[in-house]
Amino acid sequence: MEQSGSPFSAPQPRPLPLINHVPPWPHTFHLPAASPVPAVPTWLLDSALLSPAPPPGVMDGPRSDVGRWGGNPWQPPTTPSPEPEPEPEPERRSRRGGRSFWARCCGCCSCRNRADDDWGPEPHRDRGSGSGRRRPDSRGSDSRRPGSRASGVNAAGDGTIREGMLVVTGVDLLSSRSDQNRREHHTDEFEYDELIIRRGQPFHMVLHFSRPYESSDRVALELLIEDIVYVDHEDWRQEYVLNESGRIYYGTEAQIGERTWNYGQFDHGVLDACLYILDRRGMPYGGRGDPVSVSRVISAMVNSLDDNGVLIGNWSGDYSRGTNPSAWVGSVEILLSYLRTGYSVPYGQCWVFAGVTTTVLRCLGLATRTVTNFNSAHDTDTSLTMDIYFDENMKPLEHLNHDSVWNFHVWNDCWMKRPDLPSGFDGWQVVDATPQETSSGIFCCGPCSVESIKNGLVYMKYDTPFIFAEVNSDKVYWQRQDDGSFKIVYVEEKAIGTLIVTKAVGSNMQDDVTHIYKHPEGSEAERKAVETAAAHGSKPNVYTNRDSAEDVALQVEAQDAVMGQDLTVSVVLTNRGSSTRTVKLHLYLSVTFYTGVTGPVFKESKKEVVLAPGATERVSMPVAYKEYRPQLVDQGSMLLNVSGHVKENGQVLAKQHTFRLRTPDLSLTLLGAAVVGQECEVQIVFKNPLPVTLTNVVFRLEGSGLQRPKILNVGDIGGNETVTLHQKFVPVRPGPRQLIASLDSPQLSQVHGVIQVDVAPAPGGGGFFSNAGGNSPLGETIPMASRGGA
């Protein structure tokens, strides 16, 4: 047994002939790890490590950035063809030549000459030919060219089998989900019967020879083994690599909403989709062992810009030509559609991009989590501050206000070592697939060390200035002076990155991770980080000439309101000085997308308040449903702009406060026990909170190991009406599972529900249902089981 190769060089495996015309003599080989064996390594041993080296010179081409390769990436035609229906699994397999996952990914075991590989980007081709899945290239073809060395290998190297020669007649990779390899490598959840193993621990294979194996015989296998993504916490590995579902948080810091997301990284077809994403970008096999490069490519390929990646972003509110981003319940439907058609899927917003990225990176073996940053800044001029401009009367100058603050933004943390950075920057790295700004000319972001963000080290790669501004910039208010210049009248130091959360390890609770991104707000270390970062920005002197009078404090309160109800917003003023203060206050209310893009002001209020020393005064503004209903935009958020002026000392008050209108949850109830291979039923109950009819209502249902993605078209639901649906499904894998549902209509979105389903093994101990490909079609139209009044 020989092992060779380094993390930065592609291996050159020797082909093993598969000749079955002589009786086999089995011999078991135990392939050891190159280093101490972790319990659950966190990097998938896939085609990145077991593929032939590319043809000479291919990897020597130009690279515009790490994770970016030159050449001609595969591009689909500009006019898409209608999406074909999913093929039955037997047909899909036959069209790939009936070859196994291992044979398609492993050059040595597919008996192919490495020089025969055409691993590069696929040329333009007619979509009408039916091609849309991972292309049937040389890795998935049984074709053999005359004279190829792959027709047989022996010591003489001429393809002749000589008497007494040791010839490999077959290879048993022990790849079944119930076999030792899959169980020990924690890949038995993958709904595949091919070998899928992880780096850093032993695996087994059985070689069948033409005669008994002797001690003088020599068999060599070459593997590239390098584990720089290992996580030394068992509970983290269970959560961030093996967990198939999670929570994604949204809304505002004061009104946090949560939704369950089905990552589904082990579902049938998802691994194919993940490898297809790397193939489509033309990523060299030799680069796939580098998590920096892999994560950077994935952050670019999950969005459709530049390279026709997985998801089309849409923040317009018009989703008539695709799916409302709020309606998705998981990544599986999205990735399977991309794999099946080759076309970008409409539509995604930040939590969808992040959910799909979590799926892809976990599937490939990187420990990954989905992270939400509340009050997330979008810095457009590299000033590392959020700049808001007003005229002489403190009215916003919208034509200058290009920076924005998102109510929330969702991205990913993935765990890796950073040998390309100085010591101390290993661990969690930010990767963001939402296309906001370009990085080296490409819409991608990261990986960026969280440690560099925390300390304002914005010169560290990749994209640290942009991410730092998202979590720890100051909101700076500028007022135009009589001479046309602008002066800082207020700096809000705690307005950005107010809370950063992710799902807790081993539970569905929130885990506050703000402390790993930033020092405590207002501390000396935090202020130093902000000033260090700003010194490298486009406005290095932003903190000079600030007014310091701050006798009056301002706070905004908004009640927790449900969509369809009246509500009240209030501004609380407190005089912390020793003299009376007179405040002229202006309140402007508008609707807003979660990205900070606002609609026109639909209600305003002006009031003068006299505050005695130490006094507190509340100014309230009631808002009726009939007032905000015509203004509602996607996700139903409101923005209150408050500005004020203190007569006595010239202090300027400014505050932007966002609050959301809650939507109802779906109620899911399991009707009976859940057993692998046996049909069971779930009941879904929903009450329309609005006094108007919901039209074209669509339910989605999905759950790994329970239900393949399913769409239910239910028509209209009347105002304040309650409806009940019953759906049957057949579990395919045992254990605790999450069944997730959503509702979407033009009048109401962001409606979700989830139920945990504890699935018992099949009678007789069978752990898997034979139909791993799925148990239901998409696009079913169903009647309501019952309808009731309010």
Q: How far is CA 620 from CA 200, 454, 559, 572, 587, in A?
A: 62, 38, 11, 9, 10
CA–CA distance, 265 with 273 (Å, rounded to integer): 10
Place of tokens 């530049």: 306
pLDDT at residue number 75: 41
Q: Look up 409 and say whether it is catalytic.
A: yes
pLDDT: is 168 or 338 the higher one? 338
Which class for 637: exposed (0-12), middle (13-18), buried (19 or more C-beta within 10 A)? buried
CA–CA distance, 375 with 752 (Å, rounded to integer): 23
Q: Look up 306 and say whether it is catalytic.
A: no
At 226, the pLDDT band (50, 70, 90 cuts) reads low
Is it the case that residue 378 has pLDDT exceeding 80?
A: yes
Residue type, 764: G
CB 360 within 8 A of CB 351: no
pLDDT: is 151 or 26 the higher one? 26
Our CA angle for 296, 409, 287, nearest 5°, is 5
Length of the chain: 790
pLDDT at residue number 512: 97
Phi, psi of 696 (to 5 degrees): 50, 50
For residues 237-249, average pLDDT:
96
pLDDT above 70: percentage of residues in the chain: 74
Our CA angle for 607, 611, 615, nearest 5°, is 125
Residue type, 367: A
pLDDT: is 444 or 141 the higher one? 444
Q: Look up 403 and say whether it is catalytic.
A: no
25-31, strands of its sheet edge to edge: 25-31, 203-209, 168-172
CA–CA distance, 670 with 739 (Å, rounded to integer): 10
Is it the case that residue 101 has pLDDT exceeding 50?
A: no
pLDDT at residue number 354: 98
pLDDT at residue number 780: 61
Q: Which listed residue (268, 409, 519, 657) is catalytic?
A: 409
Residue pLDDT, tens place only, 588-612: 898 888 888 777 889 999 999 999 9
pLDDT at residue number 224: 57
CB 365 within 8 A of CB 354: no
Helix extents (H) in 264-349? 270-281, 291-301, 332-341
CA–CA distance, 227 with 44 (Å, rounded to integer): 10
- What are the tokens at 744? 């979407």
| CB neighbour list of residue 243: distance below 8 Å, 6 or more residues apart | 263, 362
Q: How far is CA 701 from CA 233, 509, 686, in A?
A: 33, 23, 14
Residue type, 351: W
Q: Which listed residue (432, 551, 634, 744) is catalytic?
A: 432
Is it the case that residue 445 has pLDDT exceeding 50?
A: yes
Identify the sign of the CA torsion 174, 180, 184, 188: positive
Is it the case that residue 678 has pLDDT exceeding 70?
A: yes
Is it the case that residue 752 has pLDDT exceeding 90?
A: yes
CA–CA distance, 749 with 324 (Å, rounded to integer): 8
Q: What is the pTM (predicted TM-score) of this model?
A: 0.74
At 157, the pLDDT band (50, 70, 90 cuts) reads low
CA–CA distance, 398 with 499 (Å, rounded to integer): 27
How many other CB atoms sit within 10 Å of the CB of residue 786?
12
pLDDT: is 500 or 198 the higher one? 500
CB 301 within 8 A of CB 18: no
Q: Which listed residue (106, 108, 350, 680) is catalytic?
A: 350
pLDDT at residue number 541: 59
Residue type, 747: Q
Our CA angle for 134, 137, 138, nearest 5°, is 140
For residues 182-197, average pLDDT:
86
Residue pLDDT, tens place only, 103-136: 333 333 333 333 333 333 433 333 333 333 333 3
Residue type, 329: V
CA–CA distance, 10 with 55 (Å, rounded to integer): 11
Is it the case that residue 335 has pLDDT exceeding 50?
A: yes
